[in-house]
C-alpha cells in the first residue's frame, strides 16, 4: 500500500513538472513572438532630427507684433473644429513685440547628401529652419521644395558623417503589422512609440491625393514629419496627422506612405515643385441605392457628378453618370481610390479607364492632364456667371439637373445676384430662371448678356421667368441711355 501511494505521488510530481515546463515554454514562446525594437532604435534613431523654425510675427489689427509661446495650443470649439488638426501648431501669448514665431516638429535624413524629409506644415512660412541632430549639432537647413497637397517638405543641410535611415516600400505593408515612430513630441527628442497598422489607403476629408496609413501608434504635437518604421528598420511612412477631440493622441494617427513621399521628393529635387495628373471630374461614392439604379450588382467605383469643360475627361468622352471602376489597370472600389491613382499618373500618358454607362461596361482612353491650381479648379467647377450692370442682375448657366427638375429644356439662366435696378423693380427674385427676354429665348449666360445689350433704351419689354410655382411674365423697364 505504501509503495502504491509513493508511486502515485511520484506521478503527480511528474505531471506537475511537465505542466510547469509547458507553462514556462509557452511563456518563453510568447515573449519571443513580441517584437523587440531596441536594436532598431539604437541603429536608426540618430538619423531622426528635431526641427524648429522661426518666423517674424505679423502685426495684428492694432499694429502690435505679438510673439508666440513654444508649447502648442489647439483651436477651441467642438470636435469638428479640431478634426485632423495639424499637431505642431502654436498659439499667441501676447508677449513682447520682437518675439519670433517658433514651431517644433521632426524629420529624418534620407541620404548622405544631407537631404531631410519632414511635413510641409512644419516649415511652412518659416524665415529660418534649424535642425538639431542626435549628437547635439545644430544646423541651418535650406528648403529645397515643398508640396502642400501631400504635406511634404524637402530640406538640405551641409554636414559630414550624417546618419541616414533605410527607406522601405509602403505598398508592402499589411494591416496588423507592427510599426514604430520616433520623434519629438512636445519637444522631447527621440521619443519612441509603437503600435500596429490599423488600416491602409485611408482617405481624409482634407486630403485627396494621399492614401494614408492609419496606425494606433501614439503621436502627439512635435511628432509631425517624423519617420514610421517597420520591423525591418525601414521607413514606410511620414507621421502627419491625428484624429483628436482633445488635441492629444486618441488612438488614431495617420502617416504619408513612403512610396507617395519619394515620388514627391524626386520632383522636388528635379524642379522644386510637384506636378500631378488630372482628369477634370467631380466624383462621389456609389451607394447601394445608386448602384441599383445604375444596374450594378454591388456598390463600387467613383460616380461622375460633373465633367469640367475642356478637361481631359471631357475630351475622352466621359459623361455625367458614368461610374469609373478601373483606372490604369487598378480597381476603383471607392471614389477616394481614384484621385491618388490619377495624381500619380504620368502627365501626357494615355491611360485606359473602365466605366459603367447605362448598365454596361466599356473602356475609354484618357490622356492625363496636369492638375491646375486649386483656385483654377474651383473657378472651373462653378457655373459660368455673368453680371449685367445695366439691369442689376447676375445670372449663371443652369446645370443639367436643374434643367430636368424645372422641365426647362435647353433654355434659361439662373438668377444668382440681384442689385437695386430695373430687374429688381420688375419683380425678379434670386433663384428665378429667366427663360425669355423681349420675346427671345435665352440660351446661356453669354447669350443673356448679348440680348440685354441690344434692348431698346427707355422701353418696357416682356420678361418670362420660371419659378417653382410656375412660369410668370414680368414687365421690365429698360433704363434710358446715358447722355
- The C-alpha atoms of residue 379 and residue 147 are separated, in whole angstroms, by 21
Which entry of 82, 101, 151, 189 is annotated as an active-site residue?
151
Q: Does the annotation count 151 as an active-site position?
A: yes
Q: The dihedral of CA 157, 160, 163, 167: what is its sign?
A: positive
The Cα diameter of the chain in Å comes to 135
Residue-by-residue DSSP string for 44-109: HGGGEEEEEEEEPPPB-TTS-B--EEEEE----SSTTTTTT--SS-EEE----TTPPEEEEEEEEE
Query: Among 474, 423, 418, which residue's Cα sits nearest to residue 452?
Result: 423
3-state secondary structure of 135: coil
* Grid cell at residue 418: 440681384
For residues 359, 362, 365, 370, the Cα torsion angle rounded to the nearest 10 degrees is 20
Which entry of 68, 103, 106, 121 is annotated as an active-site residue?
121
| Alpha-helical regions (H) of 213-337 | 258-271, 288-293, 312-316
Q: Counting Cβ atoms within 10 Å, is residue 206 exposed (0-12), middle (13-18) or buried (19+)?
A: exposed
- Phi/psi for 98 (5° steps) reads -100, 0
Contacts of 371 (CB under 8 A, 6+ apart): 275, 276, 277, 278, 343, 377
Q: Does the annotation count 190 as an active-site position?
A: no
Beta strand pairing status for 207-215 and 253-257? antiparallel
Which entry of 224, 253, 311, 335 is annotated as an active-site residue?
224
Q: Does the annotation count 121 as an active-site position?
A: yes
Contacts of 476 (CB under 8 A, 6+ apart): 391, 422, 423, 426, 437, 460, 461, 462, 463
- The C-alpha atoms of residue 151 and residue 153 are separated, in whole angstroms, by 7
Residues marked active site are found at 121, 151, 224
Amino acid at each position: 500500500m505504501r509503495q502504491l501511494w509513493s508511486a502515485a505521488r511520484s506521478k503527480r510530481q511528474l505531471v506537475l513538472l511537465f505542466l510547469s515546463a509547458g507553462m514556462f515554454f509557452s511563456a518563453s514562446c510568447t515573449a519571443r513572438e513580441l517584437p523587440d525594437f531596441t536594436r532598431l532604435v539604437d541603429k536608426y534613431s540618430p538619423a531622426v532630427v528635431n526641427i524648429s523654425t522661426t518666423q517674424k510675427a505679423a502685426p495684428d489689427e492694432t499694429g502690435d507684433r505679438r510673439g508666440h509661446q513654444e508649447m502648442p495650443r489647439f483651436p477651441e470649439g467642438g470636435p469638428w473644429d479640431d478634426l485632423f488638426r495639424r499637431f505642431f501648431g502654436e498659439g499667441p501669448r501676447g508677449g513682447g513685440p520682437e518675439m519670433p514665431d517658433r514651431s517644433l516638429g521632426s524629420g529624418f535624413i534620407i541620404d548622405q547628401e544631407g537631404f531631410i524629409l519632414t511635413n510641409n506644415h512644419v516649415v511652412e512660412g518659416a524665415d529660418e529652419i534649424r535642425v538639431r541632430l542626435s549628437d547635439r549639432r545644430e544646423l541651418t537647413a535650406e528648403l529645397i521644395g515643398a508640396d502642400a497637397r501631400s504635406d511634404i517638405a524637402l530640406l538640405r543641410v551641409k554636414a559630414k558623417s550624417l546618419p541616414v535611415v533605410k527607406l522601405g516600400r509602403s505598398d508592402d505593408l499589411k494591416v496588423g503589422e507592427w510599426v514604430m515612430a520616433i520623434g519629438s513630441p512636445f519637444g522631447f527628442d527621440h521619443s519612441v512609440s509603437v503600435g500596429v497598422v490599423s488600416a491602409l489607403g485611408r482617405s481624409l476629408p482634407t486630403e485627396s491625393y494621399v492614401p494614408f496609413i492609419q496606425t494606433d501608434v501614439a503621436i502627439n504635437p512635435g511628432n509631425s514629419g517624423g519617420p514610421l518604421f517597420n520591423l525591418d528598420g525601414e521607413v514606410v511612412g511620414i507621421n502627419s496627422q491625428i484624429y483628436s477631440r482633445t488635441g492629444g493622441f486618441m488612438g488614431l494617427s495617420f502617416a504619408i506612405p513612403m512610396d507617395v513621399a519619394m515620388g514627391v521628393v524626386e520632383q522636388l529635387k528635379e524642379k522644386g515643385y510637384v506636378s500631378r495628373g488630372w482628369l477634370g471630374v467631380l466624383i462621389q461614392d456609389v451607394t447601394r441605392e445608386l448602384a441599383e439604379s445604375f444596374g450594378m450588382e454591388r456598390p463600387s467605383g467613383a460616380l461622375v457628378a460633373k465633367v469640367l469643360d475642356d478637361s481631359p475627361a471631357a475630351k475622352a468622352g466621359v459623361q455625367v453618370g458614368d461610374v469609373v471602376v478601373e483606372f490604369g489597370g487598378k480597381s476603383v472600389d471607392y471614389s477616394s481610390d481614384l484621385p491618388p491613382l490619377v495624381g500619380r499618373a504620368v502627365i501626357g500618358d494615355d491611360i485606359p479607364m473602365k466605366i459603367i454607362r447605362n448598365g454596361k461596361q466599356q473602356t475609354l482612353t484618357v490622356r492625363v492632364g496636369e492638375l491646375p491650381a486649386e483656385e483654377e479648379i474651383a473657378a472651373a467647377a462653378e457655373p459660368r456667371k455673368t453680371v449685367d450692370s445695366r439691369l442689376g442682375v447676375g445670372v449663371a448657366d443652369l446645370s443639367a439637373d436643374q434643367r430636368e427638375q424645372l422641365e426647362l429644356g435647353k433654355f434659361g439662366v439662373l438668377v444668382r445676384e440681384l442689385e437695386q435696378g430695373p430687374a429688381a423693380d420688375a419683380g425678379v427674385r434670386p433663384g428665378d430662371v429667366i427663360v425669355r427676354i423681349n420675346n427671345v429665348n435665352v440660351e446661356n449666360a453669354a447669350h443673356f448678356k448679348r440680348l440685354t445689350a441690344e434692348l431698346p433704351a427707355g422701353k418696357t419689354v416682356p420678361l418670362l421667368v420660371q419659378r417653382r410655382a410656375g412660369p410668370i411674365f414680368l414687365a421690365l423697364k429698360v433704363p434710358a441711355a446715358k447722355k
